[in-house]
Chain A
Amino acid sequence: MKVLVAIKRVIDYAVPVRVRPDKAGVEALLPKLSMNPFCEIALEEAVRLKERGVAAEVVAVSVGPPHFQDTLRTALAMGADRAVHVPLTAEVVALQAAAAAGGGEGGAGAGGAAAAASSESPLQPLGVARVLAALAGREGAGLVLLGKQAIDDDCNQTGQMLAGLLGWPQATFASKLELELGGKGSGGGAAAAAAAARVTREVDGGLEVLSLPLPAVVTADLRLNTPRFVTLPAMMRAKKRPIESAPLESLGLSPADVAPALALLRVEEPPARAAGTRVGGVEELVRRLREEARVL
């Protein structure tokens, strides 16, 4: 069975961000971009499936600007067999700029689009899901693994939308994944064919277990696994390996299919909290919670 893993590049989780003075987006205080942590967990799970002999091939895919290839190299170093990059054409970036600049705040919007083109992916989840659906079909994937959300836009949509577009079963927020084996794989080479995926999901109030007939889409939550450390030699070897480029047209998609539906009008700081005070003891705390804050 072939496993497809979607990868996004984001500002590193440890780097603080601040809102840009022109309110067109955020800027990182350090220029460090990394694989989205939830994508990393999804990829680790796929590589472990291969190591257990359940997956025949792990294909990492990413949609975005040229520098997203750096993160695909990390994916190869972590154990992906192949990497596919769907580059954004100038036409797609222009569509994004048009959407961002369409309102009465043209200057800021255009600036935002330029920033988006330089570091972030200007795509929105529906567009990414359409690309991934085309790739899942082309590759004949039996399982698509994604992170539950990207830590930049925090959308938490792509996996669910991909499953909807494909008409496949889905399990979001997975904290455990087991593949139940069927007979010998027909197209999977040495690996046995998986018949179903048994997924434990994190839901409000506890856990839920689902059994998914394959092919299916699974999105990874934090506790699914702890991704491995990428060694320098692995990274060096990955640098020599090819990354396939799969332009939109080759997937039967047009720039309009991935055009943003939402314009970003502005980005603002969260409301600041007034400075608090220290209290001398429990007695003072309780008195002030009753008299000032009126919450007791």
Chain B
Amino acid sequence: ASTLLYVEHNGEGAVAPATLSAAAAANQHLPGQLEALVCGSGDTVKRAAEAAARLPGVSKVWLASDASLAHPLAETHAHLLSSLATKQKPSHVLAASTAQGRNVLPRAAALLATQPVTDVVKIVDDNTFVRPIYAGNAFATVQYRPPPAIRVVTVRPTAFPLDQTAAAAAAGSSAASPAAPVEPVPPELLAPLAGLPAAKWESADVRSTGRPELGSAKVVVCGGRALKSAENFAMLEQLADLLGGAVGASRAAVDAGYVANDLQVGQTGKVVAPDLYIGVGISGAIQHLAGMKDSRTIVAINNDGEAPIFSVADYGLEADLFKAVPELIEAVKKAKQQ
């Protein structure tokens, strides 16, 4: 048994935090060696492969460098992932359940004629997995029967916390585990990629806020429609920055145009499970709760004492947010100084 990990990396050669969680899931719950596949082109992919080689538990890194892999297109990435899996015959092909993992892995699974298991929150054994259904209102335990040669799995990053070595590796610290060997994938696997009918990458509008990524942040401050304007969200940004956290929003706030769509937390947006979630002016529609109720500590600030979010909040503060949030900012500043 062995696992082939599909590595996601950013434009600067660093391994995505979500991939670190997937590696941790493999180390803790899947048998056999862990090999990683890093796809991309140029210097970036080389640096990402070197970073992946220092991930705890990784015994080998496959480096796939080709112009057709420069952008994470499902067509080329899934093709390469499936052809490497066919050659190496791992028992599991694994990725994080991010936008990229969800885009690439099912396609690779189809090429391997395997039904994938996506968004896994618990690995029971080699063939048995727990995953949320109905927006997290129920958890299904599913089992491959009979077991296929290759199991294709994506794991929800928030369900598999990093150990300290992984966190050190993520930070690029040399105190992390020693580097595993990096080997280029056989050229015959790259050759077919150029001829594939594939999407052409045109552009991306990915805003860098300097804040942690919403899906993996330790602190998330979410705002609802009660914030009343885009300008008022600055208050939440200030609070998030003080706490080293990310800013999120309810669907109502996104639809009202206060923030960009990628900040939406909920059933159809991002699922977050930070150590600390602070919901400001959020009533707690079931679709929003589905995206945050696995957070470790939940704080709700709302002037409506009947708001449903209070039923999941560890600490509920019934107050006017325009008074409470500035007070909270000052109190956190003071607490930080102590």
Q: Whose C-beta in chain A lies nearest to the C-beta of B264?
A: A222
Closest-CB distance, B29 to chain A (whole angstroms): 17
- Could you tell me if A164 and B78 are in contact, using CB atoms closer than 8 angstroms? yes
| Interface check A266, CB cutoff 8 A | yes
With a cutoff of 8 Å between Cβ atoms, the chain A residues found around residue B208 in the complex are: 205
| Interface check B88, CB cutoff 8 A | no
> Given the interface contacts A103-B143, A267-B140, does A286 sit within 8 Å of B317 by beta carbon?
no
Question: Which residues in window 204-238 of B have CB below 8 A to A?
Answer: 204-208, 213, 215, 219
Question: Which residues in window 186-201 of B have CB below 8 A to A?
Answer: 196-201
| Interface check A249, CB cutoff 8 A | no
Closest-CB distance, B10 to chain A (whole angstroms): 9
Q: Complex formed: what's the CA distance from A165 to B82 in Å? A: 12
With a cutoff of 8 Å between Cβ atoms, the chain B residues found around residue A281 in the complex are: 317, 319
Q: Complex formed: what's the CA distance from A172 to B105 in Å? A: 12
- Could you tell me if B145 and A156 are in contact, using CB atoms closer than 8 angstroms? no
| Interface check B260, CB cutoff 8 A | yes
- Could you tell me if A267 and B199 are in contact, using CB atoms closer than 8 angstroms? no
With a cutoff of 8 Å between Cβ atoms, the chain A residues found around residue B103 in the complex are: 160, 170, 172-173
- Could you tell me if A266 and B110 are in contact, using CB atoms closer than 8 angstroms? no
| Interface check B268, CB cutoff 8 A | yes
Most chain A CB within a 10 A radius of its CB, from B135, B205, B268: B268
A: interface residue count bin: 35 or more
> Given the interface contacts A167-B197, A261-B144, does A273 sit within 8 Å of B312 by beta carbon?
yes
Would you give the 0/1 interface string for B111-150, flagging 1 where the beta carbon is closer than 8 Å to chain A?
1011111110000000010011111111111111100100
Closest-CB distance, B152 to chain A (whole angstroms): 10
- Checking A125, A151, A206, A216 against B260 with a beta-carbon cut-off of 8 angstroms, the contacting residue is A206
- Could you tell me if B75 and A170 are in contact, using CB atoms closer than 8 angstroms? yes
Number of interface residues of B (CB under 8 A): 87
With a cutoff of 8 Å between Cβ atoms, the chain A residues found around residue B267 in the complex are: 151
Most chain B CB within a 10 A radius of its CB, from A124, A222, A274: A222
> Given the interface contacts A203-B100, A270-B138, does A170 sit within 8 Å of B74 by beta carbon?
yes
- Could you tell me if A285 and B297 are in contact, using CB atoms closer than 8 angstroms? no
Question: Which residues in window 265-282 of A have CB below 8 A to B?
Answer: 265-270, 273-274, 276-279, 281-282
Closest-CB distance, B1 to chain A (whole angstroms): 19
| Interface check B43, CB cutoff 8 A | no
| Interface check A263, CB cutoff 8 A | yes
| Interface check A111, CB cutoff 8 A | no
Closest-CB distance, B123 to chain A (whole angstroms): 14
- Could you tell me if B143 and A204 are in contact, using CB atoms closer than 8 angstroms? no
Which A residues lie at the B interface, using CB under 8 A? Answer: 11, 16-19, 26, 99, 102-103, 124-127, 129, 151-158, 160-165, 167-173, 175, 198-199, 202-213, 216, 221-223, 260-270, 273-274, 276-279, 281-283, 285-286, 288-290, 293, 295-296
4 smallest CB-CB distances across A and B, nearest first, come from A164-B110, A206-B206, A161-B110, A261-B115
Which B residues lie at the A interface, using CB under 8 A? Answer: 73-75, 78, 98-100, 102-111, 113-119, 128, 131-145, 148, 196-208, 213, 215, 219, 243, 260-262, 267-268, 270, 275-276, 286, 293, 296-299, 310, 312-319, 324, 327-328, 331-332, 335
